[in-house]
A and B are shown apart, each in its own frame.
Chain A
Amino acid sequence: MTQTEARLNRKGVPAWGTLTGRWAAIAVALLPLLVFMCVFFFAPLLDVFVSSFQDNNGAFSLLNYADVFKEPILTAMRTSLGLAFCSALVSAVPGAILAFLIESRGSERLRQIIASISGVLANTGGVPLAFMFVAALGLEGSATGFLKLIGIDIYGAGFSLYTFWGLVVVYAYFQIPLMVIVFSPAIHGLRREWNEAAKTLGANGAQFWRYIGVPLLFPSFLSAFLLLFASAFSAYATARAMTNGTIALVPLMIGNLLDGNVIFDEVNLAKALAVAMVVVTLVAMIPYLIIQRRAERWQR
Chain B
Amino acid sequence: MKFLSPRQLPLTIGLLVAAIFVFFPLISAGEFSLREPLKQTHGFDNYVWFFTAPDFGKYLGISFGLAVLSALILLVILVPTVIWLNLGGARFRGFVEFISLLPLVIPVVALAIGAQTALPDFAQTNEVILAFMFAVLAMPYAYRTLDTGLRSIPLKTIVEAARGLGASWFHTIVRVVIPVVRSTVTSALFMTLALSLGEFTLTSLLHWDTFTTWVTTMSQSNILGAISLSVFSLVAVFVLLLAISIFIRPTSNTVAQEEN
Contacts and interface: CB of A to CB of B under 8 A. Distances in A.
Physical interaction between A and B: yes
A26 interface: yes
Interface string B27-57: 0110111000000000000000000000000
Q: Which of A14, A33, A289 has the largest count of B CB atoms less than 10 A from its CB?
A: A33
B81 A131 contact: no
B80 A29 contact: yes
Report, as a range, how many residues of chain A touch the other chain: 35 or more
Interface string A254-284: 1100110000000100110011011001100
B113 interface: yes
A98 B14 contact: yes
B87 A106 contact: no
Given A40-B136, A43-B118, A120-B242, A141 B28 contact: yes
B216 A124 contact: no
A136 B101 contact: no
A39 interface: yes
A129 B88 contact: no
Contacts of A281: 105-107
Contacts of B234: 124, 128-129, 132
B13 to A, nearest CB: 9
A154 to B, nearest CB: 13
Interface of A: 12-16, 22, 25-26, 28-30, 32-34, 36-37, 39-41, 43-48, 51, 97-98, 101-102, 105-106, 112-113, 115-117, 119-121, 123-137, 141-143, 146, 172-173, 176, 230, 233-234, 236-237, 240-241, 251, 254-255, 258-259, 267, 270-271, 274-275, 277-278, 281-282, 285, 289
Interface of B: 7-8, 10-11, 14-15, 18, 21-22, 24-26, 28-29, 31-33, 73, 76-78, 80-81, 83-85, 87-89, 92, 96, 99-120, 132-133, 135-136, 139, 156, 159-160, 163-164, 169, 191, 194-195, 198-201, 204-205, 212, 215-216, 219, 223, 226-227, 229-231, 233-234, 237-238, 241-242, 245-246, 249
11 contacts: A25-B84, A36-B136, A44-B113, A44-B115, A116-B242, A117-B242, A128-B212, A135-B230, A136-B26, A236-B109, A267-B113
